[in-house]
Amino acid sequence: MKKLKFPKGFLWGGSTSAYQFEGGVNQGGKGLSVQDKNKDNWMPGVTGFEVCSDHYNNWKTDVKMLAELGFKSYRFSIAWSRIIPDGDGNINKEGINFYKNLILELKKYNIEPVVTMYHFDLPLALEKKGGWLSRNTVDAFEKFARAIFNEYKDLVKYWLTINEQNIVVLMSDVIGMANTHSTGNKIKDKWQINHNLLLAQAKAVIACKEICKNALIGPAPNISVTYPNSNKPLDFLAKLDFDMERNWVYLDVGVKGVYPNVFLRKLEKLNSMFDYEKNDMKILKKGTADFIAFNYYNSATIKYKQAHTNNLEIKKDQQSGLVGDTYEKVRNKNLPLTEFNWEIDPEGLRNTLRDIHERYGLPLMITENGIGGYDTLTEQGTINDDYRIKYYQAHITQMALAIDDGVELIGYMPWSAIDLVSTHEGVKKRYGFIFVNRDEFDLKDMKRYKKKSFFWYQNVIKTNGENLS
């Protein structure tokens, strides 16, 4: 077999998000976010986010371990409510310093910080005042963006705007972000939230270009290549509809600065066009991305749905079950499942890379990919996660094939660098190369242990992806 080749300077690394990893909810002057649930107001049997992996109190040890792993990059998110506790008021110096110290520590080990500005954790005070349905939240986001750009402009090269905007819009309930301000038209609300997020993103991009002269900025949606369930023409039409709402509308606006016409027509036909101001479209046109970051877990297989309900329904979780007015996501029997029932499709990653590359032609960065599973700490302090190694071997091979096809891929930051709390399935669904010694409700000693995949990934990075065995 041909040798796998990755470009020189490829950004091997890993990913986390503030609300799933930091904890320290009541420390350092942080305000509450919509995600700061505890076990009494969150799902039964699943831990809340008040402690997570206690990274807030272990950040130095954590960075040291990532450096030992050989990370060239590390993607983390800034908690908006740590920087501006009520989302829109005064800046909290302690919050600014926390991330400054983290970035400086990463740089000490030559790890490139890749910073997500917003990962599902809207300040609670803003949600109470209207959330993303309100344009005030757009203005507040721009203020927050300008604050962090001014503070970190000389330290950060890669900025990501909004994590998985498509999941926020389509499946807010399963990721703890349910919209609490319905106007009565669910479809319009959904796309109004989307428009406001796109506007917030464009304003942040414009501010970034003004303030951070040497930085690059891009969106970070969750993109799944889409297969029609059969060769029936209507299944293909359903695939196009799904693609539009699940993948492309976010990138068409974020990269090209324009809404796809078919999408706007559809909203008009449904009497659900979002409200916008005259200048909005100009802002969207101006605030476009330098590169595309995206998260990939699996592909989607789509079937035409006979009964038109004109309503988007959400089922189970981010990856399984999404039903639109003409389409339905169905199980692809060709693909195996993870322990948490997510389909595994490594070739789908190559297909997704090709699809995005052909559509937009910008450099690409994978900012999430990974497998959630049960891991056990043995008495010897080891964790045998061969299943994770197998998953990554297959996906990294497909990345190399996509690069060989001509795709410009600049980095890979799988989810997650270190164990953390899943969006809605607790800490038992583990993702990291590093095990955190805690259970769902027993916080134990929080000690970090290197999993088998840690040593394997260390060697992958050392050989720039040439040795995956």
Question: Which of the residues are catalytic?
Answer: 164, 368
Q: For residue 148, count CB atoms less than 10 angstroms from its CB and return exposed for 0-12, middle for 13-18, buried for 19 or more.
A: buried
Question: Which of 447, 444, 425 has the alpha carbon at shortest distance from 436?
Answer: 447
Question: Which residue stretch of 78-86, 162-170, 242-250, 308-316 sits at the interface with ligand BG6 (rule: CB under 6 A)?
Answer: 162-170
Give the residue with the Cβ less far from ligand BG6, 280 or 317: 317
Q: How far is the CB of 67 from ligand BG6 (least distance, A)?
A: 23
- Residue 222 found at the interface with ligand BG6 (CB under 6 A): yes
Q: How far is the CB of 116 from ligand BG6 (least distance, A)?
A: 9
Nearest-10 Cα torsion for 163, 169, 170, 173: 90
Instruction: Report the DSSP pairing between strands 73-77 and 11-15.
Output: parallel
The one among 30, 55, 429, 448 contacting ligand BG6 by CB under 6 A: 429
Q: Give 19's DSSP letter.
A: H
The one among 4, 10, 11, 17 contacting ligand BG6 by CB under 6 A: 17
Cβ pair 440, 50 in contact under 8 A: no
Q: How many CB atoms lie within 10 A of CB 2?
A: 7
- Residue 320 found at the interface with ligand BG6 (CB under 6 A): no
Question: Which of 292, 295, 297 has the alpha carbon at shortest distance from 413?
Answer: 295
Angle at which helix 135-152 crosses helix 186-211, to 10 degrees, equals 30
Q: How far is the CB of 318 from ligand BG6 (least distance, A)?
A: 5
- Residue 37 found at the interface with ligand BG6 (CB under 6 A): no
Give the residue with the Cβ less far from ligand BG6, 73 or 318: 318
SS3 222: strand
Q: How far is the CB of 295 from ligand BG6 (least distance, A)?
A: 6
* Residue 125 backbone phi and psi in degrees, to 5: -60, -35
The one among 73, 92, 163, 179 contacting ligand BG6 by CB under 6 A: 163
Cβ pair 281, 256 in contact under 8 A: no
The one among 36, 62, 164, 355 contacting ligand BG6 by CB under 6 A: 164
Question: Which residue stretch of 78-86, 121-129, 136-144, 161-169 sits at the interface with ligand BG6 (rule: CB under 6 A)?
Answer: 161-169
Residue whose token pair is 């049960």? 374
- Residue 453 found at the interface with ligand BG6 (CB under 6 A): no
Strand order in the sheet with 313-314: 226-228, 300-304, 327-330, 322-323, 313-314
- Residue 167 found at the interface with ligand BG6 (CB under 6 A): yes
Give the residue with the Cβ less far from ligand BG6, 119 or 135: 119
Nearest-10 Cα torsion for 312, 136, 202, 22: -80
Residue 322, by phi and psi: left (phi above 0), alpha (psi -120 to 50) or beta? beta
Give the residue with the Cβ less far from ligand BG6, 167 or 204: 167
Question: Which residue stretch of 66-74, 82-90, 279-287, 417-425 sits at the interface with ligand BG6 (rule: CB under 6 A)?
Answer: 417-425
- Sign of the dihedral defined by the CA atoms of residues 75, 29, 435, 110, in that order: positive
Give the residue with the Cβ less far from ligand BG6, 127 or 164: 164
Give the residue with the Cβ less far from ligand BG6, 21 or 274: 21
Cβ pair 197, 165 in contact under 8 A: yes
Size of the site for ligand BG6 (CB under 6 A): 17
Q: How far is the CB of 207 from ligand BG6 (least distance, A)?
A: 23
- Residue 166 found at the interface with ligand BG6 (CB under 6 A): no
Residues that bind ligand BG6 (CB under 6 A): 17, 20, 163-164, 167, 222, 295, 317-318, 368, 372, 415, 422-425, 429
